[in-house]
Chains A and B, each alone.
Chain A
Amino acid sequence: MSEKADIRVLLIDDEETLIEYLSKRLLREGFTVKASFSGEEAVEVATNNDFDVAVVDLKMPGMDGVETQTRLKKLQPFLQSIVLTGHGTLDSALESGKQNAFKYLLKPIEYENLVQTIQEAYETKVQLQNAKFREEVEDIYRSGMGARGIKNAMNKLRKIYGLD
């Protein structure tokens, strides 16, 4: 399991008190946490900061959870979203964002379950990212751009994937 401090979590829910205490607990747990109170705010935050895992409430005024996670995914393709949902809305949630979310959790969440899911989501993110990195590295080697060209391209790639 990775160090929790490496895991950058973005929390998104309009219930401010809930988010306040949830982020306090996750921070104390060791995660790196950023809280936002709406989908719009989350998208803005994610434009300038990288995250590994987003925890999104499905039902929010304005931009809802499905829309938010889709937008986040566009900004950061490897970001994994955990969507929190009330029981009655599970089906519609699954239909509208099935392929996008890492997992759906029922509200009210079990804290231990959330912590574990965040860690699993992070592992998935890292694996996907590494696989894609290796794929692109191979592409570069196959491209026949020569040693110097390869070195430059690799450095660029390292930057993109934050592997410096």
Chain B
Amino acid sequence: MDLTDPLHRRPNNNDQEVSSCKQEPLHATRYLQCILKHSSDMIFATDLDGILISFSSAGEKELGYRWKDMAGRPVSDLTVDPTEFEKLVTIAQKEGSAVRSEFPFQHRDGHTIYCALSLSSLTNTEGQIVGTVGICRDVTQWKNLQEDLIRVDRLAEIGRTASSIAHEINNPLAIIGEISGWIGTVAGDAKSLSQEDREEIERGVRFIEEQTRRCRTLTYQLLSFVRDSAPSRASVDISRLLEETVSFLIPDLKYKGILVSTNLAEGPFLIDSDKQMLEQVLVNLMSNAIYAVNEKGEKGGRIDIETVRNESMIEIRISDNGPGISEENQERMFDLFFTTKPPGKGTGLGLPICRNIITKLGGSLSFETEAGKGTTFFIRLPVS
């Protein structure tokens, strides 16, 4: 390890301090070396010009540089904001120390690493300042976690607001539906109306009904997304559930000339889960598959449903040979309200709800896709 070099090169700094312990100076040096080698924090030392004279192994690992690449370079080169860093060094030398809970360093490949940074002035035995020592702990993950938490919190808040709005909308929606139905009935029975007018009114009423139904679907989905009820647990036969779901969709499939093949693990396959929630996910994913195949519009559309299992989990694969998902859309697949379907056909809630449900059931939902070839969704569920 090269990091011993700078210590030897500048015996006037560390070694003298260490020898002030007066007990076995060699022992103390080893002790320091051990810290520099094994600490998970990056530890560095610079001279008065800010040139690196020592850098710990963790630092090499954290920032992706080798000591030999960095020896003799100013430490501020490793930071995202060298001016700010210089300021901190000045403070440390004036006041003995400077601390920042979050300071950005730059990895060799360019990405930013946030560190809790603590700088202190390095003095020799005469009390003269000869440089700076820095200890940095990588807090990038912690920072990301914090940001995630804030995002989750905000989403939950949006969810709560959305659900109370959905509830409030449901009542007027019900009233609009009833009144339009009533208008239809009255118009249907009115003797003095001309045939033409009657048809106009009936057409209008039908449209109101369609649109209220559309609103209702949206409010149901919103409510089911934020509904916080814990999933119920009961024995569910996955093979049977898949067969049931397929048969439920068969009228739709026959009409559209789509071939469905199933390749399921033999016999009943029981897991403890929430049947209703699973059903919702399966119907949703299969409907998406049907939509994808139709969108491609060619003959020979197919959907393959397969289960693969091992001791701890079962994987349900739902594949279509539709157009696949474009690269720019792949990232947004699970975003709330993101949809590629035309207005009125998709709400952008289906997949986020599916993922939400599968997560609640202790599993995971993912997909693989290839442009022009199709898409496969993978539902993984724990077996016990």
Contacts and interface: CB of A to CB of B under 8 A. Distances in A.
Interface of A: 15, 17-18, 21-22, 24-25, 28, 86-88, 91, 106-109, 111
Contacts of B74: none
B170 A107 contact: yes
Nearest to A111: B181
A87 B175 contact: no
B174 A15 contact: yes
Given A25-B185, A108-B212, A86 B167 contact: yes
Given A108-B212, A111-B181, A18 B174 contact: yes
B275 interface: no
Nearest to B215: A108
Contacts of B175: 15, 17-18, 21
Interface string B212-230: 1000100110011011010
Report whether over half of chain A's contact residues are helix, strand or loop; otherwise say mixed.
Answer: helix
Contacts of B216: 108
Contacts of B170: 86, 107-108
Across chains A and B, which 7 residue pairs bring their CB atoms closest together, nearest first?
A108-B174, A87-B223, A21-B178, A91-B229, A18-B175, A21-B182, A108-B173
Interface residues of B, number: 23
Given A21-B178, A25-B178, A86-B223, 10 more contacts: A17-B179, A18-B178, A21-B175, A25-B182, A28-B185, A86-B167, A87-B227, A88-B227, A108-B170, A108-B173
B167 A88 contact: yes
B128 interface: no
Contact of A88 (B174, B189, B212, B223): B223
25 contacts: A15-B171, A15-B174, A17-B179, A18-B171, A18-B174, A18-B178, A21-B178, A21-B179, A21-B182, A24-B182, A25-B181, A87-B219, A87-B220, A87-B223, A87-B227, A107-B170, A107-B171, A108-B171, A108-B173, A108-B174, A108-B212, A108-B216, A109-B174, A111-B177, A111-B178
A24 B163 CA distance: 31
Report whether over half of chain B's contact residues are helix, strand or loop; otherwise say mixed.
Answer: helix
A24 B189 CA distance: 14
Interface string B167-197: 1001101110111011001000100000000
A48 to B, nearest CB: 28
A111 B175 CA distance: 11
A21, A106, A108 — which one has the most chain B CB atoms within 10 A of its CB?
A: A108
Nearest to B186: A28
A129 B116 CA distance: 77
A9 to B, nearest CB: 15
Nearest to A108: B174
A111 B170 CA distance: 15
A17, A24, A87 — which one has the most chain B CB atoms within 10 A of its CB?
A: A87
Interface string B135-175: 00000000000000000000000000001000100110111
Contacts of B226: 88
Nearest to B188: A28
